[in-house]
Amino acid sequence: MSFINKQITFHLTLFFLSFSIISFGQKNGYLKISGQVKSGKSKISNANINLFENSNKISSTVSSTNGDFTFNLDYDKLYTIEISATDYASKKVLVDTKIPEKDLIYKYTFTVELFQKVDGVDYSALNKPVTKIVYNSEADAFDYDLPYTESMRKQIEQITSQIESVKKQSYNQIVAKADEKFKNQEYEDAITLYEKAIDIDPYNDYPDKQIMQCEKLIAQVRSNETNYNKFISQGDNLFNKQDYKNAKTAYQNASNIKPTEIYPKTKIAEIDKLLAQSQEQAKDEQYKAAVAKGDAALAKQSFDEAKTAYNQALTIKPTEQYPKTKLAEIDK
């Protein structure tokens, strides 16, 4: 058996296609066309692949786990291969199988790069085939049609530019919202928004750094919450035992952890009031004891002892008149 073996490889700078072609001779020829569906570095499985002859759908399949699919196409016909997937904009490839020698089997391989759907982007240019595959007699192989492909290049680049512009705008808006949540110490919500920003632009390290900071602060908040509750419990227990001095210290520790919390501040104010009342009561008792001592000494005409006691009473309560009156009596 005689055969022809020729290979031509061409990689387009566009996002949508890259080609390699192999042809070899056999009887009952056809074009074996194989494609792979991708988005960036990811291969898309279960993409819907519909084959049309003119405008009539004649076959359909889904891409494999590697994004691959294959059709055997008869010669002298015009086919359209439509590739679609959930959340992606569909693309079409036009295949013209007109060929002078129909007893050869040609192979043609290409890659379809699908665009993820982004709100605000005009994908209407993709209603037309993104490229056209035809037989090239000089190369004796199927190849993309250069004039047609070039005519689509600018339209594809416009779509790419729109996607990048919309993504950038969306990224900036989401990051601004995330930063606001971060500023307000709503760290869980901030993380959710930063993760959305990463989905849009996985190459920008700012959201990753902010997520790490959020997680660190969340851990700190949880630690603060544990310590706050511990000091509040200590303060309450000491307060109930009327150990007001140590209770106040515990409430102050809790307030230092959460300065905006009202409860520890309220308890501190209550303790200050109780301590003040206790001090005033102690002063009254000391004053009365000093006056009683002075009165007892005066009754025994122990004037020096009486004066000492009345002066002690005035030291405790300088504004009281009774000790002053008694001192004046003694001095007469």
Q: Which two tokens stand for residue 205?
A: 């390290």
Q: Summarize the confidence of residues 89-115 as an average pLDDT.
A: 94
Given a contact cutoff of 8 angstroms between Cβ atoms, the answer to whether 112 and 18 are in contact is: no
When pLDDT is averaged across residues 211-228 and rounded to a whole number, the result is 93
Q: Give the bridge partners for 61, in sequence order.
A: 49
- Token pair of 102 as six digits: 């129909």
Q: Which domains does the chain have, with CATH numbers?
A: 6-163 (2.60.40.10), 227-331 (1.25.40)
pTM: 0.58
* Residue 294, pLDDT score: 83
DSSP 185: T
- Name the band, by pLDDT with cuts 50, 70 and 90, for residue 21: very low
Structure tokens given for 8: 């031509």
Q: What value does the mean pLDDT take over residues 33-46?
A: 94
For residue 14, is pLDDT > 50? no
Please state whether beta strands 6-11 and 30-39 pair in parallel, antiparallel, or not at all (unpaired): unpaired
Q: Which of 14-23, 45-54, 181-190 has the lowest mean pLDDT?
A: 14-23
pLDDT over 60 at 147, yes or no: yes
pLDDT digits (tens, 9 = 90+) for 261-281: 999 999 999 999 988 888 888
For residue 153, what pLDDT is reported? 92
Tell me if 66 sits within 8 A of 41, measured CB to CB: no
Please give the full DSSP string across 133-156, using - where no structure is assigned.
EEEETTTTEEEE-HHHHHHHHHHH
For the chain, the first-to-last Cα distance in angstroms comes to: 151
**pLDDT bracket for residue 290 (50, 70, 90):** confident
- Express as a percent the part of the chain with pLDDT over 90: 71
Name the pLDDT band for 282 (thresholds 50, 70, 90). confident
For the stretch 175-189, pLDDT in tens is 999 999 999 999 999
One-letter identity of residue 237: N
What's the whole-number average pLDDT of the chain?
Answer: 88
**b/e per residue 280-305 (b: at least 16 CB within 10 A):** eeeeeeebeebbebbeebbeeeeeee
Going by pLDDT thresholds of 50, 70 and 90, the confidence category of residue 15 is very low
Smallest CA-to-CA distance from 323 within 305, 312, 332, 310 is with: 310
**For the residues 84-110, what does the mean pLDDT come to?**
94
Is 80 exceeded by the pLDDT of residue 207? yes
